[in-house]
Structures are given as structure tokens and as C-alpha cells.
Amino acid sequence: MSDIFKLELNRRPRRTRRTSSLRALVRETEISPRHLIQPLFVVDGESSPEAIDSMPGIFRLSITDLIKECRELVDLGISAVALFPKIEDNLKSDDAREALKPDTLVLRAIRAIKTEVPEISVVADLALDPYTLNGHDGLWDSGAQDLANDATVEVLTDMAVLAAEAGVDLVAPSDMMDGRVGAIRSALDGNGFERTAIMAYSAKFASAYYGPFRDAVGSSGAACTHDLDKRTYQLDPANRREALMEIALDEEEGADILMVKPAGSYLDIIREVREETELPLAAYQVSGEYAQIHAAAQRGWLDLERCRDESLLAIRRAGADIILTYFAKEYAKAYAKV
């Protein structure tokens, strides 16, 4: 049949797909470990790493093990980690006062990392969900049956200054309170921390993909549910223009890096933000995205490594400069073997 029928084509795009070397030559998007941030969960004490059932391969680590992990990550080429504490239930309160103690767990972890592994950058999450009895990201106003925006921002600014004093490189407000980026920038500058950067969770959606994370930090247990309703402060998944407005506000208020969260279901938002700003753009491949790939791979329905790499590539292709992902370490290991 090929001898009888032949298309007369000037352009044959398959020519540059013919071999692996040609495909590499024309590849448009690349990912290396330097693009990735590894989220890490820290617990108090000297216990062995605690497995998180809903996040295969991810553990809660003591500060001692956290230091070892950071050294390994640096050796693999990963330049930053984001810290999330899991504190004991008896330390949680309605006013989240544990978050403002100078010796609270996450601050001790920051100091230890910056002393022992100073070459790695550390991101401190700013939100109250690990510290509140109800698992919300801020202070609850029982009269309004909603979070108290301005009172929460006051606590977040104090948290930011404490984290900067501990030596953190970036603070990352993930609460979605109005005006918090500007207030945090003002507080940092007013206390002599002009060099501490802000990576703002600028477009954080009220997603159904956060359940495993809530297991990891214990906020789902505090709230007695994986389905805690945060829709009065996190973005409606249906809203594109509102996300762009939030991004613009955080840029105006002084954010150094913007973020979209989650990543995989919001590639369109990542692309639009990339076209609207010159600031570095981060995207968070969240716990549910990580867990669903693992779950399907465990059933034999998907190839874990290929789906991992494809999902990360899609986020980069959409326009993210930085990806927070629980796959960071494993991707870096595979990258080192190439």
C-alpha cells in the first residue's frame, strides 16, 4: 500500500520525534531538582519517622531526622524545603497561642536546619490550622460563624517575625485572609527583616484534594472531618477572574513569589497568572494529587514514575517556575540516574 499511496507533505512534524536524541533536541520544557520544593512534616521528640498512611513514602520527622533529610535533599540538588508542624493535641487552643511561642516546634526546626544545613532554603508556612482546635486557618469568630480576618492577620504578622528571627528564608502565608501580605511585609520591614521574602499562597482554592495533608498535620482530627468547610476564605474552584484579582492584590502588597494551589486541576490558572505577572510563580501539587497517583499505581492502573513525571511536566509547561511537591525527593533521585 505504501508504494501506491504517498502524501505530498512539505511539513512532517514526526521527523523530529523519530529518535530519543531528536526528541531531546526539540524538547520545550525541562524540570530539574532546582525547580522543586520538598514539603516536610515535623514532630516533637526523638521518635522514629512516622508513616502517613494516606501519603505513601512521606513521613513525619523528628528534628534530628529532619536534619538528615535536608542533607540528603541538598545532595540530590533540591534547594528548598517547606516545613509543616504536627503538634500535640494538648497544645491546640481556640486562640492558637502555641504558634506564637518562641520555642514552638517549627521555630526550633528552622533554627536547627539553618545551623546544620545552612545551604538549603527554608519556607515557613503561616496559617493557624496546625494550632487551632477546630482545624481552621485562622481565629474563629463564633458570633459571625466565620474566621476573624483582621485578628487572624495580626497573629500571622507575629508568626512571620518569629520565623524571620529564627532564620527562615521565606514566609508563606497560606490562610487567604484579606490584606495579610501587606501587613506581613510591613511587620517584617519594621523589625529589620527586609531580606526575608514572602511566597504568598495567592490563589488557594477550596479544594477537595487537601485531605491527606490534614491527616499529616493533625488538623482533620482536630476538626473531626476531612471535609472542613473553608469556602468563606479559600477561593471558589469555579472562579477564574477572582483568582487573578487575588494574584494582583498580593503582587501590589509586596509578595516576592506568587502561588497557585492546587496545581493539577488549575493549570489554566497557572497559565493565566504566568501571562499576567513577571514575578516568580510557584504551584503546589497537593497531597491529594500525590495520593491519587500512588493509589492508582498500587492497583496497577497507572505507571507511577511516568505519571509522576508527566504531572510535574504539565505544571512546568503551564508556567510554574517552582513546584512544591511530595514527589520532589523521588524525582531528584531519578533525575540523578539519567
In angstroms, rounded to a whole number, what is the distance separating the alpha carbons of residues 252 and 248? 6
**Residue 261 bears catalytic tag:** yes
In angstroms, rounded to a whole number, what is the distance separating the alpha carbons of residues 303 and 296? 8
Output the nine-digit C-alpha cell for 250: 498580593
In angstroms, rounded to a whole number, what is the distance separating the alpha carbons of residues 90 and 97? 12
Output the nine-digit C-alpha cell for 243: 483568582
From the CB of residue 171, how many other CB atoms can be counted at a distance below 10 Å? 30
Pairing verdict, β 146-147 and 140-141: antiparallel
In angstroms, rounded to a whole number, what is the distance separating the alpha carbons of residues 63 and 253? 34
Output the nine-digit C-alpha cell for 179: 490584606
Catalytic residue among 92, 230, 261, 329: 261
CA distances from residue 328 to 10, 40, 107, 270, 335 in whole angstroms, order as listed = 42, 11, 23, 19, 10
Catalytic residue among 92, 204, 230, 329: 204
**Residue 68 bears catalytic tag:** no
Q: Which residues are marked as active site?
A: 204, 261
